[in-house]
Structure 1
Amino acid sequence: MPAQYTPPAHSDEIRVSFPQEHTMLLVINRPKALNAVSHTMTSSINDVLNWFNDEPSLWVVVITGQGRTFCAGADLVAWRQQTLVARHAEELERIADDHNGFASLSRRTMVKPIIAAVNGSAYGGGTEIVLNCDIVVASEEAVFLLPEVKHGVVAIQGGIPRLGKVAGHQRASEMLFTARPISAHEAYTHFGFVNKVVPKSQVLATALDFARQINLNSPDAIQSTKRALLLTRQKADVEDAVAAHVYSPEGKRSYLGDNMKEGLNAFVERRKPVWKNPAKL
Structure 2
Amino acid sequence: MTNGSYYPPAHTDQIKVSFPQEHVMLLTFNRPKSLNAMTPIMAQDIKSVLDWFDDEPSLWVVIVTGEGRAFCAGADLIEWNKRQAGGGASKDQGDLKKHTDGFGSISRRYSSSKPMIAAVNGGAFGGGMETILNCDLVIASEDAKLALPEVKRGVVAIQGGMPRLARIAGHQLASEMLLLGKTISATEAASRFGFVNKVVPKSEVLPTALAWAAEINQNSPDSVQSTKRALLLANRLGSVEDTVIAHVDSEESKRAFASANIQEGLKAFAEKRKPIWKNPAKL
1:25-64 paired onto structure 2 within 5 Å: 25-64=26-65
Quote how far apart the aligned CAs of 1:93 are: 2.1
Q: Output the CA distance in 2 between the equivalents of 1:195 and 1:236.
A: 23
State the partner residue of 1:127.
Answer: 129
Query: Is this contact kept in 1: 2:64–2:119, CA < 8 A?
Result: yes
State the partner residue of 2:282.
Answer: 280
1:182-193 paired onto structure 2 within 5 Å: 182-193=184-195
Query: Is this contact kept in 1: 2:145–2:186, CA < 8 A?
Result: yes
Deviations 1:122-159 (CA, angstroms, capped at 9, x unpaired): 01111000101000000000000110001111001000
Q: Output the CA distance in 1 between the equivalents of 2:182 and 2:254.
A: 45
State the partner residue of 2:242.
Answer: 240
SS of the residue aligned with 1:3? Answer: helix
Q: Output the CA distance in 2 between the equivalents of 1:23 and 1:212.
A: 8
State whether structure 2 residue 69 is matched by structure 1 residue 73. no
Alignment coverage as a number of residue pairs: 281
Deviations 1:192-240 (CA, angstroms, capped at 9, x unpaired): 0000000000000001111000000000000000000000011121100
Deviations 1:20-59 (CA, angstroms, capped at 9, x unpaired): 0000001100001111111111111111001000000000
Query: Is this contact kept in 1: 2:268–2:274, CA < 8 A?
Result: yes
State whether structure 2 residue 104 is matched by structure 1 residue 100. no
Deviations 1:54-113 (CA, angstroms, capped at 9, x unpaired): 000000000000011110101001011112224533322220221111111111111000
SS of the residue aligned with 2:9? Answer: coil
State whether structure 2 residue 152 is matched by structure 1 residue 150. yes
State the partner residue of 2:182.
Answer: 180
Q: Output the CA distance in 2 between the equivalents of 1:271 and 1:157.
A: 45
SS of the residue aligned with 1:130? Answer: helix
What amino acid is the match of 1:167? A
What amino acid is the match of 1:204? L
Q: Output the CA distance in 1 between the equivalents of 2:279 and 2:84.
A: 45
Query: Is this contact kept in 1: 2:3–2:20, CA < 8 A?
Result: no
SS of the residue aligned with 2:209? Answer: helix
Q: Output the CA distance in 2 between the equivalents of 1:18 and 1:160.
A: 32
Identity fraction in percent: 60
Q: Output the CA distance in 2 between the equivalents of 1:265 and 1:2.
A: 33
State the partner residue of 1:208.
Answer: 210
CA root-mean-square deviation: 0.9
Unaligned ranges ≥5, structure 1: none
What amino acid is the match of 2:265? G
State the partner residue of 1:18.
Answer: 19
State the partner residue of 2:90.
Answer: 89
SS of the residue aligned with 1:16? Answer: strand
What amino acid is the match of 1:210? W
1:249-268 paired onto structure 2 within 5 Å: 249-268=251-270
What amino acid is the match of 2:36? N
